[in-house]
Structure 1
Amino acid sequence: MNKVIYLDNAATTKTAPEVVEAMLPYFTEYYGNPSSVYSFASGNKEKINEQRERIAEMLGAAPNEIYFTAGGSESDNWALKATAEAYAEKGKHIITTKIEHHAILHTGEYLQKRGYEVTYLDVDENGLVKLDELEAAIRPDTILISVMFANNEIGTIEPIKEIGAIAKKHGLLFHTDAVQAFGQVPIDVNECQIDMLSASGHKLNGPKGIGFLYIRKGVKIRSFIHGGAQERKRRAGTENVPGIIGLGTAAARAAATMEERAKKEIEMRDYLISRVLDEIPYTKLNGHPEKRLPNNANFSFRFIEGESLLIRLDMAGICGSSGSACTSGSLDPSHVLMAIGLPHEIAHGSLRLTLNEEITREEIDYVVEQLKTIVSDLRNMSPLYEDFMKKQEK
């Protein structure tokens, strides 16, 4: 197979042709600054608000609760830092989990250095938050709970509705990093009692460098970027009009295709998982077997090293990942895999494959055959595997 098989859609997706087409006029034809008063520019303000409406409809939110940002990491930073500052008089305790994206974990560390306390909850072997431990962690000075909607590495979908109910019961704000989930699974912010939600365009066939933060009306949150009156004075800076058009178009596309796309991805995902687990021994599926994103498959292969596996896959024209794209240069094992209880030596042999709706059974078959060969080759070079097999023969 000569073409590249791209199975790293959790890292980024290709921008859909209709999204590019919708964006192009706003680079060269309708390039006015939306804050300008003349009609040539004010039309762009109307287009921005149309995209706000498209996104709000997907969430069951009001359009004026959608604030455009530069992406998921900015949205996560805004949700935590600005909430911490706004509610500091009530308390300085925040609850999150050990499997969050580093945009949350590193922001938590930043706040800890400034006098805040952060509780990082454990998860079970499938990556699920334990609701009793979450509720037990709540203190009189707790101001915020932040739990991701679905994990970016192992695909586990968290019990968001139940977490929202706990937050509501205790009068706490609830933020969720939905970067991997928005556009992949249905989300209703009112049903789940979500107060803030982060999302990013390039995870759903939109452009990079654009995202949004949903902020429920009435939430007291400070401005994150100062300098202008954009985004109702909460996020200064000239609006990224082409990016916003692209995000809105991608969101509408995702909403229209979600059911059919998820059905196809689940079918291909389960076929991939079944073949890998059946045909490659000493392999483990990471994440919840059912409560997982439609396109996510994460495996650990014993006795091999993930980086070598990725290099060999790349040589075979297959793009995969050993974890989050934001930590791809790190030699440390995934913090998510460590949190679900995998030992270092197994966590190091992990592979994340994330599909899209274009994947075919023929391509899955090719990937599995390549994996079988590569894993076998790497294990045959491993002294640990040799020792293990000798013990098995005794």
Structure 2
Amino acid sequence: MIYLDYAATTPIKREVLHVFNEVSMNYFGNPSSLHDIGSEAMKLLELCRKELADKMNGESDGIYFTSGGSESNILAIRSLVDAYKDKGHHLITTATEHSSVFHLFKQLESEGFSVTYLSVDEYGHIRLDELKKAINQRTILASIQHSNSEIGTIQPVEEIGRILNENGIIFHCDCVQTFGKVPINIKKYHIDSLSISSHKIYGPKGVGACYINPTLLWKAQLPDTTHENGFRPGTVNVPGIAAFTTAAQIIYSEMQENIKKYRALRNRMITLIQDLNLGIMVEGHGDEQLPHIVGLSIPGIQGQYVMLECNRYGIAISTGSACQVGQQKPSKTMMAIGKSTDEAKQLIRISFGDQTVESEIEKVVDVLHSIVKK
């Protein structure tokens, strides 16, 4: 089967799996234990913490390991909001955030916080003027994703960070889709907190991390927790973290080569689609765009139908949003960029990975052609 859903998850690399197995056998101690076996595990854990921080130009004591991107988003935002709620009850986010962030802000609203949901333009970009106008004296935190997971548009995070920093507002950034795909510079972008995940970069599932600027306060969500300096309960997954770190080292070493490869594949796909004059629309920004994600919509055809038809032809893609057979929900990203409810259900997402080749791109375009004709 042709796999073109790498933005959803990636297969673990052999080298990464090897590290996971070796660490499981040789560094099995609980890093919180005081004996030598625990101490060895702790040394490895701290090396991983520093390595991940260095990849993003952050501080090692700002890294907290979690079970993945969603938990990182929730714990980071919650911990910071609880620590600074005495200073204000206003928060800022966007209408296109990942569900883990979007639903958390809805919950915070129900608890009495005031939330501004920034709109986006037809490409998925926020408007910086709107961000500036949303800020008030009671604003304590803004959470704005680095890139949209459905259409791949990259937000102007450096400008966003500068605006928020100048106004003394905490900037949380969901970097799950961008970590390892494009450079991230915590200090240059004035990012105070971010989230990353292992399984998006050929690492094991169930592992992630968040970063919180060590100069900021945060409030533990479960009192008296000892693991990860009280940030998260549960014995730390040292083998998974070591494997995650290995995956990060590999993908960072290949980043520039991958960017070039994915741009070529994306351009090839768009050219083939345009040459066939199928009426398929390419969503997202033309330039500020993750090269490995292609969001497409086919007028008059639901994305779920296209996904199932592609599956029948041996091609795995996604609709870009969670769905069930016979009940596809409209993409909130598509709604936010100005699409109608019916149009928002037409989104499909094709995403490339390290095993993707040009012949697979040509095959999927042929299949899309046959679906449109039928």
Q: TM-score range by the shorter chain?
A: over 0.9
Q: Pick the aligned partner of 2:305 from 304, 308, 332.
A: 308
CA spacing shift, 1:184–1:333, aligned 2, 3 Å: same
Which runs of structure 2 are paired with 1:362-377 in the superposition (5 Å)? 362-377=359-374
Q: Does 1:328 align with 2:323?
A: yes
CA distance in 2, matches of 1:376, 1:348: 19
Q: Does 1:265 align with 2:262?
A: yes
Aligned to 2:285: 288
Q: Does 1:174 align with 2:171?
A: yes
CA distance in 2, matches of 1:57, 1:27: 24
Q: Deviations over 1:85-138 (max 9, x none)?
A: 111111011000000001111000111111111110100000001000001001
CA distance in 2, matches of 1:223, 1:45: 21
Q: Does 1:153 align with 2:157?
A: no
Tell whether the 8 Å contact from 1:150 to 1:293 is kept in structure 2 after alignment: yes
CA distance in 2, matches of 1:253, 1:212: 17
Aligned to 1:238: 235
Q: Does 1:116 align with 2:109?
A: no
> Normalized against structure 1, the TM-score is what?
0.92
CA distance in 1, matches of 2:8, 2:223: 30
Deviation at residue 233 of structure 1 after TM alignment: 2.3
Q: Deviations over 1:341-376 (max 9, x none)?
A: 112222222110000122111111111111111222
Deviation at residue 41 of structure 1 after TM alignment: 2.3
Q: Which amino acid aligns with 1:11?
A: A
CA spacing shift, 1:350–1:165, aligned 2, 3 Å: same
Aligned to 1:361: 358
Aligned to 2:135: 138
Unaligned segments of structure 1, at least 5 residues: 378-394
Deviation at residue 50 of structure 1 after TM alignment: 1.1
Q: Which amino acid aligns with 2:172?
A: H
Q: Which amino acid aligns with 2:134?
A: A
Deviation at residue 26 of structure 1 after TM alignment: 2.9
Aligned to 1:97: 94
Aligned to 2:21: 24
Deviation at residue 262 of structure 1 after TM alignment: 1.1
Deviation at residue 280 of structure 1 after TM alignment: 4.2
Q: Does 1:106 align with 2:99?
A: no
Deviation at residue 226 of structure 1 after TM alignment: 4.2
Aligned to 1:385: none
Which runs of structure 2 are paired with 1:32-51 in the superposition (5 Å)? 32-51=29-48
Q: Deviations over 1:224-262 (max 9, x none)?
A: 344532212222321011110111111111111101111
Question: SS of 1:299's equivalent?
Answer: strand
Q: Which has the larger radius of gyration?
A: 1
Q: Which runs of 4+ in 1 moved over 4 A?
A: none
Aligned to 1:211: 208
CA distance in 2, matches of 1:112, 1:133: 20
Q: Does 1:184 align with 2:181?
A: yes
Q: Deviations over 1:174-233 (max 9, x none)?
A: 000000001100000000000000111111111111111111111111113445322122
Q: Which amino acid aligns with 1:36?
A: S
